[in-house]
Amino acid sequence: MQHSSTAPPRASSRQMRWSNLQRRWAPYVFISPFFVLFLAFGLYPTLFSLYMSFQSWSQTDGWGHWKFVGLENYSFTLTDPMFWRAMYNTLWLGVVSGLPQHLLAIPLAFVIHMGLSRFKTFVSAVYFLPYITSTVAVALIFSTLFSTQKGVINQTIAYLNTLPLFGWFLPDENINWFLNSTIKWGIALVVVWKYTGWNTLLYLSAIQAIPRELYEAASVDGATRWQQFRFVTLPLLRPMMFFAVSLTIIGNMQLFEEPFVLLNGGASSATQGGQTVAMYMFRTAFEWLEMGTAASIAWILFAFIAVLTIINNLAFGRAAQGRGE
Amino acid sequence: MKKTAVVLLAALALGGMVLAQKKVITVGIFPNLDDAIKAQLPGFNKLYPNIEVKLVTLQYADHHNALTTALATGQGLHDVEAIEIGFVGRFAEGQGFEDLNKPPYNADLYKKLFTPYTIAQATSSDGRFIAMPVDIGPGTFYYRKDILDKAGINPASMMTWNGYIEAGKKIKAMDKNIFLIANAADVAWINIFATVGAGEGYYFDKSGKVIVDSPRFVRAFELAKQIRDAGLDAKIGAWTNEWYDGFKKGTVATQFSGAWLQGHLQNWMAPETKGLWRVQQLPEGLYGSWGGSFYGIPSASKNKAEAWTLIKYLTTNRAAQIAAFKAIGAFPALLSAQTDPVFEEGVDFLGGQKARVLWREAARKVKPVEANKYDRVANEIISTALSQVLDEGKDIKAALAEAKTLIERRMR
């Protein structure tokens, strides 16, 4: 097998074997970092958590003191009122903080693309900023804003109350945002604030990929801006919508940092009202030291995400593919 | 003969080298207990020049999380680990720490030297004693003298819960922006923590049965609700900016807490309120404890002898305990340290009041409470029940009954 004219004319058989070996194995060596990392930090923990979900184990017992309990962890979690409360919170937050992200991001992306094309980079950078800001900093700022006595939000409401017309729908007293019944709205607000920019960027990139001619043809036909948005942009955005909504579903089902920091890591009295499944799992594992139960929560959450993604695929994905072609 | 002498000499030389060599041990610790130990170490080094102590300081939560993970894997444990009261119960139930009852530690010899209830805190349900107490937090009743004076209230009248609530109403009538207490829930908690029957736990009886629907809890919840319904509390959560603000601006007239709150108020929360605060014992003859720290030796430690030497010094040496007290105000767990003249001194921040004598008395009257593996879960569940009662108007009996089933479920 001659592949190079500059190869030495008479290589020894040992050299031949070495170069053969190199040729055969080099690709594997080069690609191995991924597999090594994946095995160590992806596959192994995943399988181990599956194993763990059938065991009873507490960290303070030390390595190896596992006790096989079969499906007990699963049956416990699935009948646990605290788990279902956390699941309800998660789904509630998923809808209340997920939907507005997209309802805001799509028109915003359209406006930026159509109206602000010259400042597009600047504006999208501004919108993207919340996404890359540290969650801890964000939650600290927001807990100050939400503060019952001194918070800007309550003070604004109090000020608006002094104006005519506003009084009838605004509450008279300061709202305590850190109650079981109200904390979810606060968390939802933070999540919307943080992730709308990310979605805007996704939609903006999709809008930019829509051929100009379609809009030109539409305006030749006398279509207004609104009609262009409704009949050109929206249908062509469907594949991106499918993608972005999938990401939102997965992200919101795993929501952790924002509620965790806002609820003071579980020290707040409103913890139960804002606790998501991911947070509940964390606390089961590291506060109450029930690793097996926590592992079962992880797998139940995984099943939920899988089902929701499949539903999203059925509802959105197929239609998106159909229209996209 | 000559040969033996040579061997003997060599052995002696070797032994001498080993002795001369410094042994380095590590201590896993959190702020500001690390400031206490830094104040104690010079004395230790003088006594034991061959042991060098290295501190590994992490933030409070990080330290305990890292410690939990280290125990799980048996890797990365320090020779001595500091444990805060909130964690000592669950570490006691696990298998990761040395049982100090056993030789060579024989901690039984030292147990009577400490404030009695701390021993129970560090003892597991099967009788293992896993850590030595270093400081404690006797419960106390803080009040703003200036506010009570202005409202014409005699602090002694607040020594019953009825009197306490009446005083709150007077304060509210005087100035509706001043609240009796930051959060009504605090009153429920001190009643829960300070009314434990002998040999019981906070949430469990002697046989481990859940007792959160007992009259103890009902009464605690009722008192809190009475205060909330009368609009006497500021509805502020502890350790929030508003909490500090309430102390700073004098919008909160009283607070129940561990004696350590004085140090926090003085050092950073509200230094400008110096001289305005006073303390007294808790109402209705209650005595409770808030906080406390311990030192334990992980079974995986390689320098157990040196670790024990250090722990013994930190916890049973009177001078060391007083050094820590002077450094950070950590109330000594060691009984003999509590008789130091410094306790008779007045506390400037409390208007020169001899508060330490009062705290010492409280510490001696706190009864031992049995720790339970499920204390933290129960605490969370009761805390939720309490916020349902206070914030959402749920019926007390119903909330407690529900909490009971939730706790029982977790104790499978």
pLDDT tens-digit map of A74-111? 999 999 999 999 999 999 999 999 999 999 999 999 88
How many A×B Cβ pairs under 8 Å? 96
Q: Is B250 left (phi over 0), alpha (psi -120 to 50) or beta?
A: left
Contact list in A for residue B380 (CB cut-off 8 A) is 266, 271, 283, 287
Distance CA B56, CA B133 (A): 20
**Is-contact B386 B188, C-beta < 8 A?**
yes
Contact list in B for residue A288 (CB cut-off 8 A) is 376-377, 410
**Is-contact A253 A33, C-beta < 8 A?**
no
The number of CA neighbours under 13 Å toward the Cβ of B236 is: 24
- Summarize pLDDT for A143-170 with one digit per residue, the tens: 888 887 778 888 888 888 887 776 667 7
User: Positive or negative CA dihedral for A7, A11, A16, A18?
Assistant: negative
Residue of B nearest to A271 (CA): B384
Distance CA A63, CA A56 (A): 12
- Summarize pLDDT for B72-102 with one digit per residue, the tens: 888 889 999 999 988 888 888 888 899 999 9
Distance from CA of B163 to the nearest CA of A (A): 27
Distance CA B224, CA B386 (A): 9
What is the four-CA torsion angle of B83, B87, B88, B91, rounded to 10 degrees?
-100
Contact state of A62 with B185 under an 8 Å Cβ cutoff = no
Q: Would you state the pLDDT for residue B11?
A: 54
Q: Would you state the pLDDT for residue A325?
A: 41
Residue of A nearest to B299 (CA): A62
Is residue B249 within 8 angstroms of chain A, CB to CB?
Answer: no
Contact state of A60 with B72 under an 8 Å Cβ cutoff = yes
Going by C-beta distance under 8 Å and a sequence separation of 6 or more, which residues neighbour residue B208?
B125, B372, B411
Distance from CA of B299 to the nearest CA of A (A): 10
Radius of gyration in angstroms for the set of CA atoms belonging to chain B, rounded to a whole number = 24
pLDDT at A269 over 80: no
Nearest-CA neighbor of B226 among B189, B192, B188?
A: B188
Of A149, A265, A268, the CB nearest to B237: A268
Contact state of A60 with B90 under an 8 Å Cβ cutoff = yes
Distance from CA of B184 to the nearest CA of A (A): 12
**Is-contact B397 B213, C-beta < 8 A?**
yes
Distance from CA of A63 to the nearest CA of B (A): 5
Among A118-122, A208-212, A294-298, the minimum mean pLDDT is found in A118-122
Contact list in A for residue B93 (CB cut-off 8 A) is 58, 60
Contact list in B for residue A270 (CB cut-off 8 A) is 387, 391
Of A80, A270, A289, the CB nearest to B387: A270
Q: Would you state the pLDDT for residue B197?
A: 80
Is residue B388 within 8 angstroms of chain A, CB to CB?
Answer: yes
- Other C-beta atoms within 10 Å of A96: how many? 17
Residue of B nearest to A266 (CA): B380
**Is-contact B188 B221, C-beta < 8 A?**
yes
Q: Would you state the pLDDT for residue B366?
A: 87
**Bridge partners (DSSP) listed for residue B258:** B139
- Other C-beta atoms within 10 Å of A158: how many? 15
Q: Would you state the pLDDT for residue B3?
A: 58
DSSP B127: S
Distance CA B183, CA B240 (A): 12
Secondary structure class of B56 (helix, strand, coil): strand
Among A18-22, A189-193, A200-204, the minimum mean pLDDT is found in A18-22
- In which band, very low, low, confident or very high, does the pLDDT at A324 lie, cut at 50, 70 and 90? very low
| Terminal CA-CA length for chain A | 46
Strands (DSSP E) contained in B297-411 are 331-332
Distance from CA of A148 to the nearest CA of B (A): 8
Contact list in B for residue A186 (CB cut-off 8 A) is none
Between B206 and A281, whose confidence is greater? A281
Is residue B96 within 8 angstroms of chain A, CB to CB?
Answer: yes
Distance CA A60, CA B92 (A): 9
Tokens for B334, please give them: 């060691």
Nearest-CA neighbor of B288 among B224, B193, B389, B394?
A: B193
Radius of gyration in angstroms for the set of CA atoms belonging to chain A, rounded to a whole number = 27
Distance CA A265, CA A275 (A): 10
Q: What is the DSSP string of A46-90?
A: HHHHHHHTTEE--GGG-TT--EE-TTHHHHHHHT-HHHHHHHHHH
Q: Which residues of chain B have pLDDT under 50?
A: 1
pLDDT at A1 over 80: no
Residue of A nearest to B69 (CA): A59
Distance from CA of B96 to the nearest CA of A (A): 6
Among A17-26, A42-51, A238-247, B332-341, the minimum mean pLDDT is found in A17-26
Q: Would you state the pLDDT for residue B18?
A: 52
Q: Which residues of A touch B (CB under 8 A)?
A: 58-63, 65, 72, 76, 80-82, 143-144, 147-150, 176, 178-181, 264-272, 283, 286-289
Nearest-CA neighbor of B192 among B211, B208, B165?
A: B211
Contact list in B for residue A180 (CB cut-off 8 A) is 384, 387-388, 391-392
Whether ipTM > 0.90 holds is: no
Q: Would you state the pLDDT for residue A265?
A: 72
Secondary structure class of B193 (helix, strand, coil): helix
Q: Would you state the pLDDT for residue B386?
A: 93
- Burial-class residue A307 by CB neighbours within 10 Å (0-12, 13-18, 19+): exposed
